[in-house]
Structures are given as structure tokens and as C-alpha cells.
Amino acid sequence: GVGIEITQEEGLVKIVSPIEGSPAFRAGMKSGDLITKIDDTAVKGLSLNEAVKRMRGEPGTKVLLTIYRKDENRTFPISIIREEIKTQSVKGKLMEPGFGWIRLSQFQERSVDDFTKKLEEIYKQEPKMRGLVLDLRNDPGGLLDAAVAVSAIFLPDNVVVVSTNGQLAESKFAYKASPEYYRRSGGNDPVAKLHQVTKGIYKTVPLVVLVNEGSASASEIVAGALQDHKRATIMGSQTFGKGSVQTVRQLGVDTALKITTARYYTPSGRSIQAKGIVPDIEVLQDVPEELKARTDTKGEASLRGHLKNDGDEKTGSQSYVPPDEKNDKALAAAFNQLRGVTVNADAKNADTKTAQKRPVPN
């Protein structure tokens, strides 16, 4: 493939984000770009699945994508050589004595194994950890069981992580922080192994979760669960608001229908759909002028035909993360929070907008 996370907007393919290090990323494709043609085929009129099929192909083959970039009001071609896309969904390190950082860029098949191994590594470097930052910015989501497992690493045993509710009985279900809700049949339990190796430190270590407009679905489930159980301080900007559940119904041998059957709710009963997770402390990043039109976006509630939220919908957020961590205000604010430095609103400075509402657990 070419290495992009996509959605559909006004009949065109919209890039949510190019995967770091992928051919699309190296070719300069940006979040918010619209694909209007794939080789000689117009995208308008194609389903998202048909568009994906046309972009995929054998590694080493070429595909020509025509891009419309709204903020520059121009259309231009990008030629991409396809590759096998292998994404490393977990990165992490000890930032300084006592404080760790771990980033999850997608909830994939291997994410929980990789995530727990990285947390083991950080613990072995620093057994007396005083704080951890869980970075879920620009993580578009993925597998539900992975979201439940990641939540279970930090939450007390058996509390509710997320619930689904729809019209049918099978759509009403609560997922808890317990192996039976995330362990695959015949699989091991990497979460239990992690707690054994680390003497359960991740159940109690002070935690800050970073989110932004690019945090969607499984990311919102994790952030919402940790926020509702007062296990972490959520910092950054409001999340995307992808809180609906799709079910595939087989119609025939080669035909199926994907329908929306339920909504996701946080443990306290808040619907994620079209509202997302509002951080306890909002931290806004200085965005370079040339990127502003691409990084200040409006989430699920701005999409035509989106599933409405029963309550207030909120739109308008931020998805820019600076490539150099020295310029990363949200990351700096997160570590200040863990060190015990109060993060307050400052009218003259757009670093933060909302004073702390919840203390970090001791």
C-alpha cells in the first residue's frame, strides 16, 4: 500500500494522517489532503473500499494520486511506489530519572504485546517510577480488545472500561478490565505478565494521557475510561468523536452490509459520538502558519451525515504535534503536571486554557 489513514468526505477520500515513514509520508502527503483521482480513475462515485483496492497493489509498483490541498487551493499529482506497510505502533523511553513516556499510534493486532514489553523495558530502567505519560495523540484507533487491554493495565481489576448500547440485546454490553474481555482464545495474557514483572506499579503510577483531534475510537475509549475512573489527568485538545459501532451483516456469498448498530459510552455513561473526550487541561500548540488550515479540524461532528449525539456536539480542535519534542508544549506540560508544577491558565499565553480539575492520583 501507500501508508495512509483515510476517511470519506463529500465523495472524495480524505487523508486523516499519513503513516510515519510510509511512502505517502515521504512523498509529502498531509493530514486534510483530498484524493480526487487514483491513476486515471475519478474518486467521486467510488466507495471507500473501492478506492482502497485501487490504491493497494504489489510492492514496487507505482500509483499516481491526484491531490487537492484545500488551504493552498491547488490540485497536483503525487507519484508513489507502493511498499509493504509495517507500522511500529509503540514507542517509548525513560525521559528523565523517574519519568517515562510511551506512545501508541494504533491499536493493532500486536499492539498490546509491544506495549507491555515497552512498559517492562521502562520499568527495568527505572523501578522507582514517579510518573508516566501515555501519548495517544493522532492515534486513530483500531481493535476494541486492544483498547480494553491497554485500559486494564492502568485501572483497578474488573471495573467497566466501556459499554455499548443499541436497539438489539446483542448491542448492549459492558467491557471490563478483566482478561476475559480482552484475551483472545488460546492466547497468553501480556497484561498479567506485565503486572507480575513490574510488581503492579502501573496500576498506581501517576499518569497523564495526551490526546488531540486525531485521537479517535479506541483512543477515546481508553482516555474516557481513565478520566471517568479518575486514574489519569487528560491533557491536550478535544478528541475526534468516533463513538459508533459498526456491524457487518452477510447478505450473500460475496455481499455484505455494514450498518451502525450501537454507540460507545464511557464508564460514567457519556456518549463519545460526535463529542469526543474533553481534556481536564487543554494545552494548545503553536502551529506554523503554513499548517494551520490542515491541523485545526472539526472532528466527527463536522462530517456530513454523521450520527448525532443525544447531547451537545462539540467541534473544533487541534491535531498538530511538533516533530521536535523540544517544541512540544503538551508534552512539557504533562511532565510539569507529573512533577507537581501547577499548570494554570494564562490569558496572554495560549499554552493552556483550562486550569486543573482533577489531581493526579498519588
- Secondary structure class of 110 (helix, strand, coil): coil
Q: Residue 178 and residue 273: Cα distance in Å, rounded?
A: 25
Taking the mean position of all CA atoms in its chain, how far away is CA 109? Answer: 15
Cα dist from 305 to 92, 300, 308, whole Å: 38, 10, 9
The one catalytic residue in 242, 275, 317, 328 is 242
- Could you confirm whether 33 is annotated as catalytic? no
Cell of 260: 451502525
The one catalytic residue in 33, 135, 145, 228 is 228
- Supply φ then ψ for residue 351, to 5 degrees: -60, -50
- Could you confirm whether 228 is annotated as catalytic? yes
Cα dist from 35 to 30, 44, 139, 143, 177, whole Å: 11, 9, 21, 26, 40
Task: Give the angle 334-340-342 at the CA atoms, nearest 5°.
Answer: 75
The one catalytic residue in 217, 219, 237, 317 is 217
Task: Judge whether 259 and 246 are in contact, CB under 8 Å.
Answer: yes
Beta strands in the chain (DSSP E): 4-9, 12-18, 34-38, 41-42, 62-69, 74-81, 90-96, 99-104, 131-135, 160-166, 173-176, 207-211, 233-236, 244-250, 256-265, 281-282
- Could you confirm whether 242 is annotated as catalytic? yes
- Catalytic residue set: 217, 228, 242
